[in-house]
Amino acid sequence: MELIFFGVGLLLGLMIWFWQWQQVQHALETLLEQYAARPFKSSPWQRLQTLLSQQVQEQERCHQKMLRCQTVLEYAPIAYLEVDEANCVVCCNEVARSLLGLVHPEGRFLLELVRSYELDCLIEEVRQEETMREQEWPYAYLTPTGQTKRKPLRARGLFLGEGHVGVFIEDCEEVVRLRDERDRWAADVAHELKTPLTSLRLVTETLQQRVPESLRVWVDRLLEEIIRLSLLVQELLELNRLSHTPADSLERHPLDLVQLIDTAWQSLTPLAAAKDIHHEYTGPKQFPYCGNESQLFRLLVNLYDNAIKYGPVGGQVLTRLLSDREGGYLCLEVIDTGSGFPPKDLPYVFERFYRAQARRHRFVIPTDSEGRMPPVGSGSGLGLAIARQIVECHGGYMQAANHPDYGGAWLRIYLPLTSL
């Protein structure tokens, strides 16, 4: 009887073991189907061993790739640092340690190491919006002698996931120095050209009345080119003067900004009428402001001149005036219905001599009965550079974009309300 019980128990145990083995086999097959592209003739255990071996090799390749990336970042010619969700430094290459004066920064709070409000705001914006952001600012630092100096920096933040943010930082001190040398050279050349161009214009105007009628067309063309060069020289000198004018020394007077907008547009009515371009203003009927009237008039004329030149026939120019009392700024928007700026050109539209005409082609403006249309600017790419310089002289800033609804250029001017 005991043998019978023993046999039944043994049989039951074998059945349970066989059932569990089948369950393990089925689970193993299901697991292998997720990683194997096609079934193999070998047993599932052999396939599992092969798969584990492949995973070890893949892990080793990923480790080697990660080491290569770390080596590249460490010896890259641009500063790089990475922070986690708590803004603690995860990694930092040699250029970043040298540029920001960091010593063993890993694991420490970034704000403890780098006292830069702009950099902290950039990282927070990238983390919240989960996108790439770029920022330029003058970074203040202490020299070994205890002096406070500033260097221009440009940073680009990248969202890396799980709250981590990587930041590439570029020292723009050499770029700024070269830009200043270029601007100084252009101003010197413009100053030297002013006197001979004036003499050439006087001689040409004298010849214009004395040459035969058959040759006058050539003298007229020569005079037009001299006038164009004179305008270019005048714009270069004006831009150089504005760049050396601090905001606190600017001569200001009370004015009505709405009336100034209307006056600036009326001065360009012949150009707008030739292309059937209409102007629409949205905002208060009066807006008192304290600023330099001649400079603000030049600012508006430059913006309207660009909008007319690059706008389509029968287009429209929109001007909007908004006031943010809490923010302390007024916002002046100028929008055209043209083709807008090429996206790749947007960071450079305020640079001197930069002309983004890949998409913003000039439309031909019909001339008057004498075949002429007096130019407003030289068309050299200085209009927006002068406009931004005027805004900065008033303590404001300027932004350029393409309007999401109209598709054309969208220029926003922010001026402080503290002068009201």
Domain annotation for the chain: domains and CATH numbers:
72-171 (3.30.450.20), 175-226 (no CATH), 251-365+379-416 (3.30.565.10)
Write out the DSSP string of 365-376: PP--TTS----S
Are 153 and 168 within 8 A, CB to CB? Answer: no
CA distance 384 to 354: 9
Burial of 51 (0-12, 13-18, 19+ CB in 10 A): middle
- pLDDT at residue number 329: 84
Predicted pLDDT of residue 37 = 45
C-alpha distance across the termini of the chain, in Å? 111
Angle between helices 213-243 and 173-208 in degrees, nearest 10: 150
Task: Determine the pLDDT at residue 368.
Answer: 42
SS3 288: strand
> In a 10 Å sphere around its CB, with 0-12 CB exposed, 13-18 middle and 19+ buried, how is residue 340 labelled?
buried
Cα(184)–Cα(175) distance, rounded to whole angstroms?
14
Q: How far apart are CA 35 and CA 57, in angstroms?
A: 15
pLDDT at 372: 42
Q: Which pLDDT does position 151 carry in this prediction?
A: 86
Residue 171 phi, psi dihedral angles, 5° rounding: -85, 115
Mapping DSSP to helix (H, G, I), strand (E, B) and coil, where does residue 36 land?
coil
pLDDT score of 347? 79
Predicted TM-score (pTM) of the model is: 0.57
pLDDT at 126: 92
Q: How much is the pLDDT for 34?
A: 64
CB-side exposure of 234: number of CA atoms within 13 Å? 12
Which residue is it, tokens 């249309």? 373
Per the structure block, which two tokens stand in for 338? 């043209």
SS3 414: strand
All residue ranges of the chain with pLDDT < 70 are 28, 31-48, 247-248, 325-327, 354-381, 418-420
What pLDDT was estimated at residue 346?
81
**pLDDT tens digits along 382-416:** 788 888 888 888 888 888 899 988 888 999 999 98
